Structure 1
Amino acid sequence: MNSSPTPFFRLKASDLEHLLITIEKSLEVQTRTQFYLWAQGALQGFVPHEALWCAWGDVDAMRLKVQMFARGVINPRVESQMTNPTDGVLPRMVDDWLRGGRAPRLLSSEGGEQTGRRQLIGDLQRCGFDHVAAHGVREVQGDYGSFFVFAGLERQPDQRTAYLLELLMPHMHLALHRMRQREADESSTEMAPVTILSKREIQVLHWVRHGKTNFEISQILGISPPTVKNHVQKIMRKLNVNNRAQAVGKSATLRLVTHTDLQEVAR
């Protein structure tokens, strides 16, 4: 549950009617094309935006697949800056959302309550987005969660925006779930989520986090010290960091090493 629930916002009769239409239309979504048409139709009329990034998967472990729906052409460079699994804006927004108690995140170049998010706002501006709102849904009954980023809003998001996101999230989550379930049913070879580090690299990073030297790690894992050194160097390259301490810090932010990871690599 959110640590600070979004305040109630009284909607006008026209807003309530529009909300009902948007929810009804979401129930028709089964395919990617239908999701796109819904996002650019009923949903676009409710929360006007340039691009919508939809992420789903293990949100806490930051293992996500991402799909973008836009009303225009998005520069590939912007797409990469938004979704890069190590330095991308979207993973950092997910982390900000988790740290913020899973409350709607409202980001704007015009100010407001932006403590600790200046770098994030600056990167969004460099992507061409001055006003952004984001929210997600936590895992329910063992299913994956989801996270949505509305980029390029027409105006600075406010408490009304946050309240609307709270109302829309369950329906967006279910529409996205039906879309991906339909695609999974139609394909027997659905791709697994992208994994940044290999199982061996996760093992090495785990012991680096516990302050072990390369020699100590080699004794624990039964490999040579040069092999451990090679793994450490690969980890730092993949995470785009300069030393072991930075690798540990970034892995914590991106939640690359989890209890489940360690159970899997131990098998």
Structure 2
Amino acid sequence: MTDHPFMDSLVTLTAVDLERLLITIESSQQVHLRHQYFLWSQGVLQSFLPHEALIVGHGEYGTPAFRYEVLGRTQLAGDRMPGSDFDKLVGLALDSWQHGGHLPKAFAGGSNGSATCPVGQLLKRFSIGHAMAHGTREFNGDSSGFFVFLNMPEAPGRRHVYFAQMLMPYLHTTLHRMLTQEKSAPELPVRFNTRLSGREGQVISLVRDGMTNQQIAEKLELSPLTIKNHIQNILRKLEVSNRAQAVAKAVKARLISDQPGT
């Protein structure tokens, strides 16, 4: 805990939280392609909104133009829930969020699920766990954005609501930057011959997972200065200027896996 933590009436942020938040926001600016969005949402974003799968929706709410897809580290939703039930889950979550004043909406799964909540009933039925929905009310049509975090490790609380509200502008703008990029310039395969050392591979994999330099140093039992030097070498080898670009390029070149925790 810092001596002078940043506070609002509900949530206190430590120095580590602030460093992670800065990394999350800065790295969002480097997301232009689908695999980068996946890495961002399943990497650094997990520090504040941990989840196994993320529903990403856009298009006019409540019309056939609304579309969604699921990003996740596992085939959680697809394995457990038929398509028609999944469509129902998304529709019910969207309706609940809209009728709840467009505020982050928490849904308890498992034994904590409400017997009267249709979303909670579906989550419990398919053992998907806790969930939270939030989106943008300021944008209509194709500019909309709706997100449902699935299988959160604990029932969403004040801290999760706080970060869902704080990070929604970045979730939304990053999504539409990716969609715009896909329309204008399809992603091309990477031809890349550079190799990373075993230690550099470990370091960039932990960067992908959203760890700070201090956390990586503790994980690998190295000094923070050594980690900083490794990252500088990685940036130089990959010919990029920041951590987010390094992760994206390393994944595209198959130097590291796109799966967090591997």
Which bin holds the TM-score, normalised by the shorter protein? 0.5 to 0.7
Moved more, 17-26 or 39-48: 39-48
- 1:182 corresponds to 2:181: yes
- Could you tell me whether the CA contact under 8 Å between 1:53 and 1:148 is conserved in 2? yes
Question: In 2, are the aligned partners of 1:59 and 1:144 still within 8 Å (CA)?
Answer: no
Residue number in structure 2 paired with 1:65: 67
Inter-CA distance 162–15: structure 2 relative to 1 (3 Å threshold): same
Between the aligned partners of 2:91 and 2:65, the Cα distance in structure 1 is 9
TM-score, normalised by the number of residues in structure 2: 0.61
Please tell me whether the aligned partners of residues 7 and 159 of structure 1 are also in contact (alpha carbons under 8 angstroms). no
Question: How far apart are 1:60 and its partner, in Å?
Answer: 5.5
**1:78 match:** 81
The within-5 A match list for 1:220-239 is none
Name the TM-score, length of structure 1 as normaliser.
0.60
In the superposition, relative to structure 1, how do residues 48 and 149 fare at CA in structure 2: closer, same or farther (>3 Å)? Answer: same
Structure of higher CA gyration radius: 1
In structure 1, the gaps of 5 or more residues are 1-5, 188-267
User: 2 CA distance for matches of 1:169 and 1:162?
Assistant: 11
Residue 12 of structure 2 corresponds to 10
Runs of 5+ consecutive residues of structure 2 not aligned to the other structure:
1-7, 187-262
Mapping 1:69-218, distance limit 5 Å:
69-74=71-76, 75-76=78-79, 78=81, 80-81=83-84, 83-84=86-87, 88-109=88-109, 111=112, 116-117=116-117, 119-140=118-139, 144-186=143-185
Tell me how far apart the structure 2 counterparts of residues 49 and 159 of structure 1 sit (CA, whole Å). Answer: 16
Q: Percent identity?
A: 35
Query: For 2:82 and 2:184, how far apart are their aligned partners in 1?
Result: 28
Q: Which amino acid aligns with 2:44?
A: A
Q: Give the alignment's Cα RMSD to 1 decimal.
A: 2.5
Alpha-carbon distance between aligned partners in 2 of 1:7 and 1:134, rounded to the nearest angstrom:
22
- Give the length in aligned residue pairs: 177
Q: Is the 8 A contact 2:52 2:72 kept in 1?
A: yes
**Do 2:115 and 2:121's aligned partners in 1 also have CA atoms closer than 8 Å?**
no
CA apart distance, 1:8: 4.3
